[in-house]
Amino acid sequence: MKAYPGIEPPQEYLKYIDKQKNPTEGQRKRHKLISEPMDDEIYIIDKRSRNRKIKELADREGTTVKRILKLYFRQLAGRSLVEERKLPEKPETQEQKNFRWAIDTFYYSAKKMSLRSAYDMMLLSKYTDADGHLMIEHPSWHCFRHYFYEGGYHAKSRNTIARNGLTDYQRNKRPLFGSAMRWRDKIGAYQMDATQADIYLVSRLNKSAVIGHPNIYMAVDTATQLIAGIYVGLDAGEPTVISCLANASMDKVEFCGQYGIEITQDEWPNTGLPGEIITDKGKEFIGSCMNELAMKYGIEFESLPPFRPDGKSLVEKSFDLMQQKYKPILRGKGVIEADAQERWAVDYRSQAVLTLDEKRANLIYMPHS
């Protein structure tokens, strides 16, 4: 029993314990009524003895057998002997119905109306006469706003889903539980994805010729957060995914040595293919070549829904951290800033100085620097 982790008791049980510490007068009377059958376990297993005892108590106390049996079984089940009475809910008024209708129709809408606009639309729809004049008896803006916040309509997940869409809610607003590393408890489950680096590169043969953005493919182990494999190049598609996996399987000391970077085996300790690849439904990850590779080497695939980067958060965050690390260092050397689409922005292509090989060396060095 000591090896098992402790858990918090249910709230209902804690409330029951608190009530038992300070019983009411009604609870004392009910406890006294069933104290005799509760003191002897024979009444739990012997139905005839229990029925005789309860019939005796009912005749003596001037109550019914049914009532004593109900209290007896409630006590055995650990429930309170006094039921909490819930006040009946007040019926919804016509004004409140109009408020709820306006919130559902105008505020919970992809048009993203403001709350004041929803109120105005309600007045136009529900509180104007045949000539289009506003009725004298109409709800005030303060009443409508109070109903909105008092009812918690501003805090409901439906608010975000209705106004921004289900995809935005699932990606950015939904609550997340657990840990990304605990999703897989064994090494060998790689999260894979691709992105474009925010930097312009030049040709190694003609440094005045800009060749564009490099594509970065990365494989990150789920259990350890280790970057297992990386590809940096201008190509895209299934061959680049396979190149990234080939990099994951090769010796990293030899790989880094090709770019003049000296590391020890302990600094990048991974070789071999993964047992599972976790990725989205990108066509380069689910094509015929990848299926053939999976069949040949026994690799399993888990395809996540599209537009859900939170499902492979480790590789997404690795891209983010890597670019945050090199962009300040390489600023003014072709790095694309946030104002790239503005009219007055600098032409960052004219600042490009790094070749593809230099960029590879830069990205390889960053995670291990």
Q: What is the pLDDT of residues 223-243, one digit of tens each?
A: 888 999 999 999 888 889 999
Q: Smallest Cα–Cα separation from 112: which of 167, 165, 166, 163?
A: 163
Q: Where are the alpha helices (DSSP H) in 40-156?
A: 42-45, 47-61, 65-76, 94-102, 115-126, 141-150
Confidence of residue 125 (pLDDT cuts 50, 70, 90): very high
Residue 142 is predicted with a pLDDT of: 95
Q: Give the pair of three-digit tokens for residue 176.
A: 């997340």
pLDDT at position 163 over 90 = no
pLDDT band, residue 68 (cuts 50/70/90): confident
Residues 294-311 have a mean pLDDT of: 81
Contacts (Cβ under 8 Å, ≥6 apart) of 345:
337, 339
User: Is pLDDT of 81 > 70?
Assistant: no
C-alpha 94/C-alpha 122 separation (Å) is 13
Q: 332: phi > 0 → left, psi -120 to 50 → alpha, else beta; which?
A: left
At residue 27 the predicted structure's pLDDT band, cuts being 50, 70 and 90, is confident
- Strand stretches in the chain, DSSP E: 189-196, 201-202, 210-212, 215-221, 227-233, 276-279, 300-303
Q: Is the pLDDT of residue 274 over 50?
A: yes
Listed by start position, the domains of the chain span: 11-76, 95-173, 181-368
320-326, long-range: CB < 8 A, 24+ apart: 322/216, 322/363, 322/366, 322/367, 323/197, 323/198, 325/366, 326/199, 326/362, 326/363, 326/366
> Which of 24-28, 114-118, 234-238 holds the top average pLDDT?
114-118
- Over 90: is that where the pLDDT of 147 sits? yes
| CA distances (Å), origin 348, targets 212, 330, 345 | 11, 12, 8
Q: Is 70 exceeded by the pLDDT of residue 86?
A: no
Q: Name every residue whose Cβ is closer than 8 Å to that of residue 327 and which is 6 or more positions away in sequence.
A: 198, 199, 335
Residue 358 backbone phi and psi in degrees, to 5: -65, -35
- At residue 369, the pLDDT reads 45
pLDDT at 337 over 70: yes
This prediction has a pTM of 0.59
Q: How confident is the model at residue 138 (pLDDT cuts 50, 70, 90)?
A: very high
Q: Where are the alpha helices (DSSP H) in 111-237?
A: 115-126, 141-150, 157-164, 166-168
CA distance 183 to 319: 20
What tokens does 91 get? 């019926």
Give the right CATH number for 181-368 from 3.10.129.10, 3.50.50.60, 3.30.420.10, 3.40.50.12500.
3.30.420.10
Residue 148: band (very low, low, confident or very high) from pLDDT cuts 50, 70, 90: very high
Quick one: pLDDT at residue 33? Answer: 84
Looking up tokens 């890597």 gives 322
Give the pLDDT band (50/70/90) at residue 325. Answer: confident
